[in-house]
């Protein structure tokens, strides 16, 4: 999960999604002064965000590690995370939610950044339904937080040969993110976990700590 957290925050900073903090190189530690701007960040995700028995829970969650990394760089974050195992844009999770439901819970009017991460759980769903529900989810985030930046991260895959249906999910989300004016990141083409079985738990799917 440490490598995942590094990817997330590096991509967000490089993309300028928190650009008013990026005017100078990051220092190892920067005290937070009174009056430091506070960024409200919402995260919507699946089991890669909730964590599993394989890892990534509590203090080892990539979200928690990311907020701590930012705090040591003098960036104040107030996060709202809504994630659910097995959830996707179309497929309902362990508690019956899809990403649109989670968006309603996590996103607020003053958010500076909204992050969507996933989901391989949508593998094999009707393509038109996926496109429509992804569109509606991003549109909902725009309506709730009209001034926020959107960062859409596609489904990750731990090997170099993801199935076609997962690639189709990736491509559909990329198209919908572009239409929504969001930044899209593709963990598959960037090979986040490829060739690194040490980062994946025994189930072959979820990251370990």
- Taking the CA atoms of 56, 59, 64 and 66 in sequence, report the sign of the dihedral they define: negative
Backbone angles phi, psi at 5, to 5 degrees: -60, -40
**Cα→Cα distances 148→18, 136, 143, 151, 193, Å:** 10, 16, 10, 10, 29
Concatenate the DSSP letters of all residues of 153-180 into one string: E----SSS---HHHHHHHHHHHHHHHHT
206 catalytic, yes or no? yes
Strands 149-153 and 183-185: parallel
Specify whether 101 is catalytic: no
Q: What is the 3-state secondary structure (H, E, C) of 27-93?
A: CCCCCCCCCCCEEEEEEEECHHHHCECCECCHHHCHHHHHHHHHHHCCCEEEEEEEECCCCCCCCCC
The tokens for 6 are 């590094």
Q: Quick check: 145 and 108 in contact, CB under 8 A?
A: yes
Which one of 39, 47, 97, 186 is the catalytic residue? 47
User: Has 179 been annotated as catalytic?
Assistant: no
Catalytic center residues: 47, 203, 206
């Amino acid at each position: 999960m440490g490598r995942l957290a590094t990817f997330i925050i590096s991509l967000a900073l490089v993309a300028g999604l928190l650009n008013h903090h990026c005017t100078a190189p990051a220092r190892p530690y920067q005290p937070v002064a009174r009056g430091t701007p506070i960024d409200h960040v919402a995260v919507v995700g699946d089991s890669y965000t909730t964590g599993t028995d394989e890892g990534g829970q509590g203090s080892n969650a990539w979200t928690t590690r990311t907020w701590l990394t930012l705090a040591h760089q003098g960036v104040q974050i107030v996060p709202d995370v809504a994630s659910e195992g097995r959830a996707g844009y179309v497929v309902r999770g362990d508690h019956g939610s899809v990403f649109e439901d989670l968006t309603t819970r996590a996103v607020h009017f003053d958010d500076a950044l909204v992050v969507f991460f996933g989901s391989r759980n949508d593998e094999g769903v009707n393509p038109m339904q996926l496109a429509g529900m992804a569109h509606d989810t991003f549109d909902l985030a725009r309506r709730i937080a009209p001034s926020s930046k959107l960062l859409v991260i596609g489904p990750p895959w731990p090997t170099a040969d993801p199935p076609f249906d997962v690639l189709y999910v990736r491509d559909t989300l990329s198209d919908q993110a572009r239409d929504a004016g969001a930044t899209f990141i593709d963990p598959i083409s960037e090979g986040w976990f490829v060739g690194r079985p040490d980062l994946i738990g025994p189930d072959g799917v979820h990251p370990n700590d």
